[in-house]
Amino acid sequence: MSKKINQLDAATDEESKNDSYLDGIADPVNGLAKKRTTAQSKQVFCTKSEKYVATGDEGTTITIPALAGRQILAIFRSSGIIYEVGASPESDEFTWDDADIVLGTATNAGEKFLILHRTY
């Protein structure tokens, strides 16, 4: 017997952490429904971090292919937090165009960056 969504029991916190459980997803336009695992949902919605150590040759532009098309949530530079702006970044700022991080000041060899990101 099938059930409507409002007839389903709520999952416990422990069940919600089970990577093999399934989540329902559907296209609201054509009504096509599919399933994905909790592990797949985590990949879509979780925040990830990327560690980067500058060579000093980057200048003010850092390109990390793994970040292409991702949303940058925060960048922590050795000197502290830097903030996203729309254009012309100052020394404590950066811009992001879905491919390149443009810094307000050039990198130094060995300078560390921690970049928090996720899908849009």
Q: Each residue of 55-65: b (16+ CB within 10 Å) or e?
A: eeebeeebeee
What pLDDT does 1 receive?
64
3-state secondary structure 94-108: EEECCCCEEECCCCC
pLDDT at 84: 97
Residues 21-73: tens digit of each pLDDT: 988 888 989 989 999 999 999 888 899 999 999 999 999 999 999 999 999 99
Using one digit for the tens of pLDDT, what is the confidence trace for 6-26? 888 888 999 988 999 988 888
Query: Do 102 and 95 contact (CB within 8 A), yes or no?
Result: yes
Q: pLDDT (tens digit, 9 = 90+) per residue, 78-102?
A: 989 999 999 999 999 999 999 999 9
* Closest alpha carbon to 105 in 38, 51, 56, 43: 56
**pLDDT over 80 (residue 3):** no
